[in-house]
Each structure stands twice: as structure tokens, then as C-alpha cells.
């Protein structure tokens, strides 16, 4: 903890503009009567709220904070004898999970999409016979995003009668979106609806603990059976009544909050920190660097932020202007230059040049890019080489006519150069082989008892992974199963679209013959999103496994297309019910971030990769030039210079992939600790580490995550 006092408590979404003076005044009278019990069930306050909302007083329960009501709901409807489970969203308010865990009620979540929207279909699909309570926070904490009226109604319409929908509207007073789904409007149409509200946020009474729920009387009666009559103290009741009657203070709060939000948003845009449009009195931030770094820095300077369940996002409560200005100054201080840039001035120049592209004329920007390229060419190390790659990317962005968009495999180098470079990457670094080896372990154990195997590889490339798998299969005591491999990859830009794929098949055929494995091969030259995986004819006697390495991030998601094609492919994989689905992806975020935070993120990611290459490969190796400026340089150009559908390098962080897989109905495959085995097989340099990520491992270099490999099965398999 910092030794300076906290001047800006931005962690709990309290009303940082204070409390109504009418409240303090009303409390004076009650202070003289502390010897009396409070009014049971807060009858007077209930009548006032009922009148304001146009509902019956019997449809309201007051709680010691809405937190108490959340706890009572779980106790009333998910009792120990029931087989009930609770459903909610992720990321969302952590108390739902905590209350479920406290009463040992199974708790399941439907992750939000990459833009933090509710996937209504996924939510409805996740409801089963055990689902008793479904908590929806609207607007959602910590994302600030909201469920529109139409979607709320769709959920209510499809809700089975055994499910109670609890809509937590802790921030409803702040909402300005015209299509916001006000749950109260549906109260009399749908019997299983509960609305939670609180006096802790816009009304400024967090310390007194008071909130309320609105629902039909039958539900209220059930809740009252677990509620104590004196659960809300008299000071809180009196204060809430006074607050409810002070519209002037509420409006003042809303005005100050909207102005504060606009002020903070403007600064975040300038600093290149991503935030999501928020309907609450808070913003969720992602600066493209780990949230705990920012969190610690702010704390040391008197600002208490809130970390979330996501390692890169941080939540900040809208506050007084001078506090926010201090926050903005501290963020600027940390990010510009970033930590990385403090160690390496050339990297600071990369960020500065990238920022110039936003602010200066194309001519000025061209000058800055030239200066960057000149400075980069004097330094033949990881920093010099990465700076050169970024200078090329900036030039492409500045010309607004990048030829590299969407054209992944075109090259200024010949095919043989590319193959030689790929071989170096494979043999001298674990960047490619790490995913292969992890996946192959999981595949081997999934097909241990199979006599016939159908292997579907989405993005087969040179098929390298399968040479190793075949050796492992041939070495099994029971011998190798009959193996069918279907390889999918994007069509070649020139010549026959599937020629490369067929050559891969021929080499694999030779390997199979050498090892005496019965082997058949099919190849399909297509973009994954243009193909229906469920149209493949797979014999049910064949054990199916599906693999994808460094491929799925090319598929656009709902940030680019409607419907979400990335989810669609996952749904198809799920429909095929493979024994295992193995996924390897770079652990970086080049999908949901805007240009400046994405620039910072990509610099972190590719600098780490270039540092690996700088350590493991000799500087003058010709193949290294191809790897850096062609393999990775081409990605950098696409990430930095392309927006919308032209950006095809849409990596997502491992935690985002995990949320996506859970949302689309997968769960991680249990496996023994493979880290020591993998480290041995891959002969990992001592600066690498393998960190379990909940579904597999993430490969780290000098403490920075690079690549993650995970294994999944369809839920219910």
C-alpha cells in the first residue's frame, strides 16, 4: 500500500459528488431517537418508492444494500435441498458468484462478446432444467455496456417458467441510451422478473447500506420468508426517503457525472487508452498493458482503481474534475513513454511516431517515419529491427493504401526462402512447436483407445505438426490407428488454389508409408468462414479430433461482421463433437483495440518475439531477416495499418478466447501437468516459462506472455 493518502477513491463507483444536504438534515432528527427499533419492513419508504415507480407497496422489499437482497434471493430460491443453479454473465458483478459459492449453489456464466455485449442466444442456450436464478446486470458492471430493450424482451419471452430473471439496475439513474431495456416496464407482463436498485450509487448513500427490489407479490412473499423484519436500520430508511425526494441533487449528480465522463473519455482518446462507452458512473479501460502495472502505479499516487477478472482491464469511477486531472496526468506519466519505452528510447520513438500519424499532416508524419527508419537502421538488435518493422507499417498506414491487407501469403521472397526461414523458426525457437507439442499430447490421450481417427486441421500449412504425431502413433504399443487427415487452408494467391495443400498431403503420405500407418488425406482450399464444417462426412466409428494453430484469428468477429463468423466456426466445431479441440493462438489483442492502444499492445507483443529471435538466432542469419520482416513484419503492417475488414490479423488474448469458447459451449479438457514434459521436449531456453492458463499453457519470455495453447471439448460431452 502507498504511504500517501488516497485522494481519489475510484474503486467502488460511489457518488464522488457527495450526498444530498437534505439527507444530512433529515438524519439530525433521527439521531435523537437511536433507542428505537426501525420501522419494520421499511413501510414508509416502500410506500414512497411504490408511488414514484407506479407499482404496489407490496411489490417492494427494502434491503440492507442490494447486496443483502442478492444474498436473500439465493437463499430463498436456491435452497440446499434444491438442485438449483445460477446463471450470469462474465465479466460482471462478482457478488453473484460469491453468494452462490457461499451457499454452494453451482454458478455458471455466459461470457460477453468481444465488445462486451450480451449474446442473447448463447444466454438462452445455457439455461437448463437446473437454472433457477439468472442475474443480469444492466448497465453491466464493470463494462458499462447495456442490454437494449429489444434484447431484454427477447430474453423474457424465451425464459422457461422455472427461471427467475434478476435484473440488477444499480446504475439505472445514470442511463442516457434511448434504447436501454428498462426492466420495470415488463414487471406485470412477466411474472418471473425481479428488479434490483440501490441508494448506494447515484443517491450517494453507500455507507448506510440500503437498496430495494421490485417484483410480483408471489415472489416477494417467498423472499420475505428469509428476510428479518429489522434488516434496514432507521438512519438508512430516513436518509433514503430524503434522497428520494431531492430530485435537484440527483440531477446535479447526473450532470456532473456526464461532464466528468466526457472529460475522462477525451483524455483517454488522446492517450490512446481504450475505453468502452459506459451507461454508468465509471469507465472500463484497456491500455494494452497489464492492469496490475497501472493499478500499482495509480495506487502509489493516491488513486484507487478497481481491477477486474480480466488481466488487462481496469475500472475507474467518474470523479471530481481535479481528481480526474490528476489521474490523467498519472496515466500519461506511466504510458507515454511506456515502461518498455523507458528502457529503450527507440521504442519510445516508435510510439511517438505512431501517435504523430493520428495528429499531424501526412507530410509531417512521413518525415517522422523517415527519422524513425533512419534511427532504426543504426541499431542491429531487437529494438532496431522492431523499429524498422513498425516504420514500414506506419508508412503503409500513412499512405492509406496498404497492399498487405488480407493478402497473408504473398511475398517479395521466393517460396524456397520462405520455407528455409520457416524451418529456422521451427528448429531454433519454440514459437511454432510449442503449440504442436501441447496439442499432440492432448490429441494422443484423446485417441488412446481408437482404431480409426479422423483428424481435422483448420489451417494446416505445411502439416509439420502431424509428422511428429505420426511418429508418436507408430510408437504406441497397440500400433497406430488408421488415420484420416483433412487439411483446410486458404487458397493460394497464384497457381492452383490447393497445390500447396496437396504437396503437404504427399509429404505426409510418405511419412505414413515409412511408419506403416494406414493414411488417407483430403485437402480443402477455402477460407474457414466460407465453408460449412458440418458438411464433412465423418464416419461415427472414427475418433474425431480438431486442431487449429495460429488460424482462427483470421476469421472476422462481430466487430467486423454480423453475425459473428468466429463464433459460427466454433459452433460448427462444437456440433461435430470432437474428442478434443486444440487451439493455439498468439496471446495478444489486435481485435478489439483502437489504433493507439493496439499500437502499444503490438509493440509489446512483437518486441517480445523479436527479443526471442535476437537471443536465439545469429544477427547476420539471412533467414532471420525473412522471419522478422516477412513473417512477423507482414503481421505488424496489417495490425498497425488496417482497420475494419482489411485487418485480418485479429489476435485475441487467451482470456478473450477462453471467454469466447465458454460462451459458445466448450469447456477445458483436464490434463496432467505437462509443463516439465513440454519444457524438456522443446529444450526451452531458461528465459522461457510455461504458465498454466486454466485450459492449457501460455508460453512466456522474460515474464511476457507470447502464445497460448489450450484444449477443449463441447460442454456436455
Ligand X SMILES: *Cc1c(COP(=O)(O)O)cnc(C)c1O
Residues that bind ligand X (CB under 6 A): 13, 65-67, 93, 137, 141, 168, 170, 198, 200-201, 206, 211
* Residues 6+ away with beta carbon under 8 Å from 390: 350, 353, 354, 372, 603, 636, 640
DSSP 669: P
Report the alpha-carbon distance of residue 500 to residue 510 in Å, rounded: 16
Backbone angles phi, psi at 201, to 5 degrees: -105, -95
Choose between 13 and 349: whose C-beta lies nearer to ligand X: 13
The minimum distance between CB 144 and ligand X, in angstroms, equals 11
Choose between 143 and 664: whose C-beta lies nearer to ligand X: 143
Choose between 67 and 73: whose C-beta lies nearer to ligand X: 67
Cα angle 432-438-444, degrees, rounded to a multiple of 5: 125
Using Cβ positions, the residue closest to ligand X within the complex turns out to be 65
Backbone angles phi, psi at 226, to 5 degrees: -110, 0
The minimum distance between CB 13 and ligand X, in angstroms, equals 6
The minimum distance between CB 200 and ligand X, in angstroms, equals 3
Instruction: Report which of 713, 593, 596, 594 is spatially closest to residue 664, judged by C-alpha positions.
Output: 713
Instruction: Report which of 475, 454, 455 is spatially closest to residue 463, judged by C-alpha positions.
Output: 455
The minimum distance between CB 91 and ligand X, in angstroms, equals 11
499-515 and 464-474 are packed helices; what angle lies between their axes, rounded to 10 degrees?
20
The minimum distance between CB 195 and ligand X, in angstroms, equals 12
Choose between 281 and 486: whose C-beta lies nearer to ligand X: 281
**Maximum separation of any 2 CA atoms in the chain, in Å:** 93
The minimum distance between CB 628 and ligand X, in angstroms, equals 46
* Residues 6+ away with beta carbon under 8 Å from 714: 574, 577, 578, 665, 666
Report the alpha-carbon distance of residue 640 to residue 396 in Å, rounded: 9
> Do 354 and 640 contact (CB within 8 A), yes or no?
yes
How many C-beta atoms surround the C-beta of residue 68 within 10 A? 20
The minimum distance between CB 145 and ligand X, in angstroms, equals 13
Choose between 66 and 629: whose C-beta lies nearer to ligand X: 66
Report the alpha-carbon distance of residue 93 to residue 97 in Å, rounded: 8
Instruction: Report which of 334, 425, 351, 338 is spatially closest to residue 387, judged by C-alpha positions.
Output: 351
Question: What cell was used for 493?
Answer: 494467391
How many C-beta atoms surround the C-beta of residue 534 within 10 A? 12
- For 432, the 3-state DSSP assignment is coil
Choose between 88 and 465: whose C-beta lies nearer to ligand X: 88
The minimum distance between CB 197 and ligand X, in angstroms, equals 8
Report the alpha-carbon distance of residue 344 to residue 41 in Å, rounded: 63
Backbone angles phi, psi at 130, to 5 degrees: -85, -20
Choose between 137 and 368: whose C-beta lies nearer to ligand X: 137
The minimum distance between CB 153 and ligand X, in angstroms, equals 21
The minimum distance between CB 210 and ligand X, in angstroms, equals 7
The minimum distance between CB 146 and ligand X, in angstroms, equals 12
Choose between 201 and 624: whose C-beta lies nearer to ligand X: 201
Choose between 202 and 533: whose C-beta lies nearer to ligand X: 202
Report the alpha-carbon distance of residue 49 to residue 286 in Å, rounded: 38
> Do 6 and 303 contact (CB within 8 A), yes or no?
yes
Q: Distance from first CA to last CA of the chain, Å, rounded?
A: 46
Choose between 168 and 623: whose C-beta lies nearer to ligand X: 168
Report the alpha-carbon distance of residue 504 to residue 469 in Å, rounded: 15
The minimum distance between CB 143 and ligand X, in angstroms, equals 11
- For 241, the 3-state DSSP assignment is helix
Choose between 87 and 706: whose C-beta lies nearer to ligand X: 87
Choose between 143 and 547: whose C-beta lies nearer to ligand X: 143
The minimum distance between CB 653 and ligand X, in angstroms, equals 24
Backbone angles phi, psi at 296, to 5 degrees: -65, -40
Choose between 318 and 351: whose C-beta lies nearer to ligand X: 318
The minimum distance between CB 20 and ligand X, in angstroms, equals 17
Report the alpha-carbon distance of residue 87 to residue 162 in Å, rounded: 13
Choose between 99 and 489: whose C-beta lies nearer to ligand X: 99
Instruction: Report which of 712, 665, 714 is spatially closest to residue 693, judged by C-alpha positions.
Output: 712
- For 213, the 3-state DSSP assignment is strand
Choose between 137 and 291: whose C-beta lies nearer to ligand X: 137
Query: Which residues, in sequence order, are bridge partners of residue 85?
Result: 131
The minimum distance between CB 206 and ligand X, in angstroms, equals 6
Choose between 198 and 582: whose C-beta lies nearer to ligand X: 198
Report the alpha-carbon distance of residue 442 to residue 368 in Å, rounded: 49
* Residues 6+ away with beta carbon under 8 Å from 419: 462
The minimum distance between CB 171 and ligand X, in angstroms, equals 7
Choose between 167 and 273: whose C-beta lies nearer to ligand X: 167
* Residues 6+ away with beta carbon under 8 Å from 708: 584, 585, 586, 587, 654, 657, 693, 696, 697, 698, 699
> Do 170 and 203 contact (CB within 8 A), yes or no?
no
Report the alpha-carbon distance of residue 613 to residue 48 in Å, rounded: 68
The minimum distance between CB 177 and ligand X, in angstroms, equals 17
Amino acid at each position: 500500500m502507498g504511504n500517501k493518502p488516497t485522494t481519489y477513491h475510484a474503486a467502488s463507483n460511489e457518488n464522488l459528488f457527495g450526498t444530498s444536504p437534505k439527507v444530512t438534515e433529515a438524519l439530525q432528527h433521527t439521531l435523537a431517537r437511536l433507542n428505537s427499533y426501525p420501522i419494520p419492513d421499511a413501510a414508509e419508504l416502500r410506500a414512497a418508492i411504490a408511488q414514484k415507480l407506479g407499482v404496489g407497496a407490496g411489490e417492494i422489499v427494502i434491503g440492507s444494500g442490494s447486496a443483502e437482497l442478492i444474498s436473500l434471493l439465493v437463499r430463498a430460491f436456491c435452497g440446499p435441498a434444491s438442485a438449483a443453479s445460477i446463471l450470469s454473465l462474465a465479466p460482471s458483478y462478482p457478488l453473484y458468484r460469491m453468494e452462490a459459492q457461499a451457499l454452494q449453489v453451482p454458478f455458471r456464466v455466459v461470457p460477453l462478446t468481444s465488445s462486451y455485449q450480451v449474446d442473447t442466444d448463447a444466454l438462452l442456450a445455457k439455461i437448463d432444467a437446473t437454472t433457477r436464478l439468472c442475474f443480469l446486470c444492466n448497465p453491466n458492471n464493470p463494462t458499462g455496456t447495456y442490454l437494449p430493450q429489444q434484447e431484454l424482451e427477447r430474453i423474457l419471452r424465451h425464459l422457461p417458467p422455472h427461471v427467475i430473471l434478476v435484473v440488477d439496475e444499480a446504475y439505472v439513474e445514470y442511463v442516457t441510451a434511448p434504447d436501454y431495456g428498462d426492466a420495470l416496464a415488463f414487471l406485470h407482463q412477466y411474472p418471473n422478473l425481479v428488479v434490483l436498485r440501490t441508494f448506494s450509487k447515484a443517491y450517494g448513500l453507500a455507507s448506510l447500506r440500503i437498496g430495494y427490489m421490485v417484483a410480483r407479490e408471489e415472489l416477494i412473499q417467498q423472499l420475505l420468508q428469509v428476510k428479518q423484519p429489522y434488516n434496514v436500520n432507521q438512519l438508512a430508511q430516513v436518509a433514503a426517503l430524503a434522497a428520494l425526494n431531492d430530485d435537484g441533487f440527483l440531477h446535479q449528480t447526473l450532470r456532473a457525472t456526464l461532464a466528468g465522463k466526457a472529460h475522462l473519455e477525451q483524455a483517454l482518446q488522446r492517450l490512446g487508452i481504450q475505453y468502452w462507452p459506459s451507461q454508468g458512473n465509471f469507465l472500463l479501460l484497456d491500455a494494452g498493458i497489464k492492469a496490475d502495472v497501472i493499478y500499482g502505479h495509480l495506487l502509489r499516487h493516491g488513486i484507487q482503481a478497481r481491477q477486474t477478472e480480466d488481466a488487462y482491464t481496469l475500472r475507474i469511477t467518474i470523479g471530481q474534475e481535479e481528481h480526474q486531472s490528476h489521474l490523467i496526468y498519472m496515466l500519461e506519466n506511466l504510458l507515454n513513454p511506456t515502461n518498455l519505452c523507458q528502457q529503450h528510447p527507440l521504442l519510445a520513438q516508435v510510439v511517438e511516431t505512431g501517435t504523430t500519424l493520428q495528429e499531424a499532416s501526412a507530410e509531417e508524419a512521413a518525415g517522422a517515419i523517415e527519422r524513425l527508419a533512419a534511427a532504426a537502421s543504426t541499431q542491429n538488435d531487437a529494438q532496431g529491427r522492431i523499429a524498422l518493422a513498425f516504420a514500414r507499417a506506419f508508412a503503409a498506414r500513412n499512405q492509406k493504401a496498404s497492399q498487405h491487407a488480407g493478402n497473408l501469403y504473398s511475398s517479395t521472397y521466393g517460396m524456397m526462402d520462405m520455407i528455409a526461414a520457416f524451418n529456422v523458426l521451427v528448429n531454433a525457437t519454440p514459437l511454432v512447436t510449442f503449440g504442436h507439442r501441447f496439442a499432440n499430447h492432448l490429441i494422443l490421450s484423446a485417441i488412446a483407445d481408437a482404431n480409426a481417427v479422423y483428424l481435422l486441421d483448420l489451417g494446416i500449412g505445411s502439416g509439420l505438426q502431424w509428422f511428429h504425431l505420426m511418429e508418436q502413433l507408430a510408437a504406441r504399443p497397440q500400433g497406430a490407428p488408421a488415420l484420416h487427415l483433412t487439411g483446410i487452408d486458404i487458397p493460394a494467391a497464384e497457381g492452383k488454389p490447393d497445390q500447396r495443400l496437396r504437396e503437404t498431403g504427399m509429404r505426409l503420405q510418405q511419412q505414413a508409408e515409412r511408419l506403416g500407418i494406414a493414411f488417407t488425406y483430403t485437402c480443402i482450399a477455402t477460407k474457414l468462414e466460407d465453408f460449412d464444417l458440418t458438411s464433412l462426412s465423418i464416419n461415427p466409428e472414427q475418433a474425431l479430433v480438431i486442431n487449429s494453430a495460429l488460424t482462427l484469428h483470421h476469421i472476422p468477429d462481430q466487430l467486423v461482421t454480423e453475425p459473428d463468423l468466429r463464433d459460427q466456426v466454433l459452433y460448427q466445431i462444437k456440433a461435430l463433437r470432437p474428442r478434443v479441440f486444440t487451439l493455439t493462438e498468439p496471446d495478444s489483442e489486435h481485435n478489439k483495440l483502437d489504433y493507439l492502444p493496439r499500437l502499444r499492445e503490438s509493440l509489446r507483443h512483437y518486441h517480445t518475439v523479436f527479443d526471442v529471435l535476437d537471443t536465439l538466432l545469429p544477427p547476420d542469419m539471412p533467414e532471420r531477416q525473412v522471419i522478422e520482416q516477412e513473417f512477423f513484419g507482414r503481421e505488424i503492417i496489417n495490425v498497425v495499418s488496417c482497420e475494419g475488414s482489411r485487418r485480418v490479423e485479429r489476435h485475441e488474448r487467451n482470456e478473450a478466447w477462453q471467454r469466447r469458447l465458454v460462451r459458445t459451449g466448450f469447456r477445458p479438457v483436464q490434463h496432467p501437468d505437462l509443463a516439465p514434459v513440454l519444457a524438456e521436449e522443446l529444450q526451452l531456453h531458461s528465459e522461457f516459462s510455461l504458465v498454466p492458463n486454466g485450459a492449457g499453457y501460455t508460453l512466456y519470455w522474460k515474464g511476457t506472455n507470447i502464445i497460448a495453447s489450450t484444449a477443449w471439448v463441447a460442454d456436455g460431452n
